[in-house]
Chains A and B, each alone.
Chain A
């Protein structure tokens, strides 16, 4: 995966160099910034806290899977007792005991509102502010990379973490689902039948959509991270913002504003399981995430490239 990310970064390279102005004389070779990205990725993914976050995320589908297994072990169906499904529990949970693949969707629906963005908030908030509070930011800047490039590398690393975190949840859920529950053809929520292979394809698509849903909060976290010199403060602010927005999204009086909250269309990933796929909300979600990435990404760039680095 790091290779794919690196490729991606290389494509973006020319755009990165332009804002720097007439510094052609010391434009580093593409290979060099590939190295920067690689070292960033290694630093991030080797951290104990990153691994702990991923472990927590991997544990969620295991817990959900075991809970559903125990609940349905006497042959009863989950959620079948109450009319209307009781409205409790994450989406798709009533289908998990019939098809293990649904555990992937349930696990993503369970982690997307909080666990996943919280993990992203921690990593993104830490990206610049963490270096700053550890006193390592100036050494990073001593290297002839330029601030824009460093910021982009940091953002690419956070995005890579978004993808990794989502895939950890999905793969863990897939494995647990296959172990505990029957697998086979599945029924979309529209009532049509698709093959297991197509179901897997949709699961992958959903994982990508979920990862893309986190791009907005990643940019937000990165911006917050450029504002402060304290890693903890940046993480707390990002997670606090996440909780605030999630609460505001529940208040009916604010329905005029809600379509612009980054979390508003998160659960639209479930639309992938309709037949035919209902794209409207998915497209809105991706557009909104791109907007957040553009606004807060450029705000982070404006802040970071003009900031006095004292630590």
Chain B
């Protein structure tokens, strides 16, 4: 039987095979065109949406820093994107394994369990990778920080006296009470020492501004749909691994909207924290309301601290390191300051056979480092994109946001 006519329309006459063939081919143009349009849209729309840098009145760097300092934004809500790329090996699986071990895996049992909702444990996750946060603030007494995870969320809510941490994945709640609002309660919020918003980062950066630093205004930019000045902070000295720090400051309110730290070695930013959405309107009051859900496991801060202080077997190496930290000294100034301390571990890390406290670990770690020699003897340099550390064979540690050469020089000078 002859095939049924292959088209909706029957007007195509006989003997027009060629035309029919062309028409057939022409139909496939449609999906290809759809794909082309989609690809063009994906490629071009971000470029077109970038409407160039806004025109703003000129300001000096001093005026801009003053603007940040004077900025008194009490009410704010928005979405923050954090990207960190320290160039550490990806230890994602290992890290989460350690975390669950620390907070009481099935094996550890008993009352010694930490809470999955403990802020300090949770917020250290921000140190690597890419994260989306939501922040909301209404005055000094009410703040909320939410870490958006896959089908789950970790919220840290400060409302008056109460600080709540809620981990929706495990349905666990962490609760602590801040002292009276009189004495800057946000200082007492656990985990507040972990910077999360562009402002936290900018404050840290501006603290280090001194005569070793050049601060300039690097034009304007548009961040989260708002006009902003770009404040560029660069180390004057040679030898720092920090290339530049750029802070985008909202032209209207003086709020830092975006913080970017680029390494001297070039490449992608080491830390990139910026609002993708921001609003200076008063957040809904219900945002800060929290009552623990039914059936959630609530950990009070006191209990949790006790649990944390309990000796944790299996981590003696860390304890030793902490002891070693007692002799911490800082040499150098400004961007080139190097922290140094003596671990007391004679023999250093790499020569695993000689033992020392970190012997076994050292042999393993040594494979990540570079061997260096100098007047100080020899040692191993561990590199990330921002912080480098030199561990000498006689057990001294030099670490800082400086290049390998600067570390060796510091070690030589210390002899």
Question: A interface vs B, CB < 8 Å?
Answer: 19-23, 77, 79-87, 91-92, 94-95, 97-99, 109, 138, 141-142, 146-148, 182, 186-187, 189-193, 252, 267, 270, 274-275, 278, 280, 291, 294-296, 298-299, 301-303, 305-310
Contact A83 B28 (CB under 8 A): no
Contact B100 A308 (CB under 8 A): no
B23, B151, B164: the one within 8 Å of A267 (CB)? B151
Q: A83-B99, A274-B153, A305-B27 are known contacts. Are A189 and B168 too (CB-CB below 8 A)? A: yes
Closest B residue, CB atoms, query A80: B297
Contact B103 A307 (CB under 8 A): no
A301 to B164, CA, bound (A): 55
Contact B172 A80 (CB under 8 A): yes
Contact A20 B9 (CB under 8 A): yes
The 9 closest A-B pairs by CB, nearest first: A83-B103, A91-B151, A20-B8, A85-B170, A270-B151, A98-B295, A189-B168, A302-B27, A299-B31
Contact B114 A191 (CB under 8 A): no
Chain A positions within 8 Å of B51 at CB level? none
Q: A301-B27, A301-B30, A302-B27 are known contacts. Are A308 and B6 too (CB-CB below 8 A)? A: yes
Interface centre among B100, B166, B293, B295 (most CB of A within 10 A): B295
Closest A residue, CB atoms, query B276: A280
Q: A80-B172, A83-B99, A94-B171 are known contacts. Are A278 and B4 too (CB-CB below 8 A)? A: no
Decide if B105 is an interface residue (CB 8 Å cutoff).
yes
Contact B31 A83 (CB under 8 A): no
Closest B residue, CB atoms, query A78: B171
A294 to B116, CA, bound (A): 44
Chain B positions within 8 Å of A98 at CB level? 171, 293-296
Stretch with Cβ within 8 A of A (4 or more), from B66-74, B251-259, B283-291: B283-291
Decide if B52 is an interface residue (CB 8 Å cutoff).
no
A156 to B: closest C-beta gap in Å? 18
Contact B169 A307 (CB under 8 A): no
A79, A146, A303, A308: the one within 8 Å of B170 (CB)? A79
B8, B38, B114: the one within 8 Å of A83 (CB)? B114
Closest B residue, CB atoms, query A223: B31
A94 to B100, CA, bound (A): 17
Q: A302-B27, A302-B30 are known contacts. Are A80 and B170 too (CB-CB below 8 A)? A: yes
Chain A positions within 8 Å of B103 at CB level? 83-84
Decide if B150 is an interface residue (CB 8 Å cutoff).
yes
How many CB-defined contacts (below 8 Å) exist between A and B? 167
B162 to A: closest C-beta gap in Å? 12
Interface centre among A23, A84, A296, A302 (most CB of B within 10 A): A84
Contact A189 B8 (CB under 8 A): no
Contact A309 B3 (CB under 8 A): yes
Chain B positions within 8 Å of A252 at CB level? 90
Contact A19 B8 (CB under 8 A): yes
Chain A positions within 8 Å of B295 at CB level? 77, 95, 97-98
Contact A84 B96 (CB under 8 A): yes
Contact B155 A141 (CB under 8 A): no
Decide if B306 is an interface residue (CB 8 Å cutoff).
no
A229 to B9, CA, bound (A): 23
Contact A305 B152 (CB under 8 A): no
A86, A109, A193, A305: the one within 8 Å of B289 (CB)? A193
Contact A305 B6 (CB under 8 A): yes
A94, A192, A299: the one within 8 Å of B169 (CB)? A94
Contact A84 B169 (CB under 8 A): yes
Tell me the residues in window 73-111 of chain B with beta carbons closer than 8 Å to chain A beta carbons. 79, 90, 96, 99-100, 102-106
A28 to B113, CA, bound (A): 71
Contact B4 A138 (CB under 8 A): yes
Contact B150 A298 (CB under 8 A): no
Besides A85-B116, A95-B168, 20 other CB < 8 A contacts? A21-B8, A22-B9, A80-B172, A82-B106, A83-B99, A84-B170, A86-B100, A95-B171, A98-B295, A99-B294, A109-B151, A138-B4, A141-B4, A186-B293, A191-B155, A191-B166, A191-B168, A192-B287, A280-B79, A305-B8
Chain B window 18-35, contacts with chain A (Cβ cutoff 8 Å), 1 for yes, 0 for no? 000001100110110011
Decide if B337 is an interface residue (CB 8 Å cutoff).
no
Contact B116 A83 (CB under 8 A): yes
Chain B positions within 8 Å of A307 at CB level? 6
Contact B157 A87 (CB under 8 A): no
The contact sample of 17 A-B pairs, CB cut-off 8 A, is A80-B170, A83-B100, A83-B116, A83-B170, A84-B116, A85-B167, A91-B150, A98-B294, A141-B4, A267-B150, A274-B148, A280-B79, A298-B30, A302-B31, A306-B7, A307-B6, A310-B1
Contact B6 A190 (CB under 8 A): no
Q: A84-B116, A85-B169, A295-B35 are known contacts. Are A190 and B146 too (CB-CB below 8 A)? A: yes
A171 to B7, CA, bound (A): 42
A219 to B: closest C-beta gap in Å? 10
Interface centre among A81, A148, A252, A267 (most CB of B within 10 A): A81
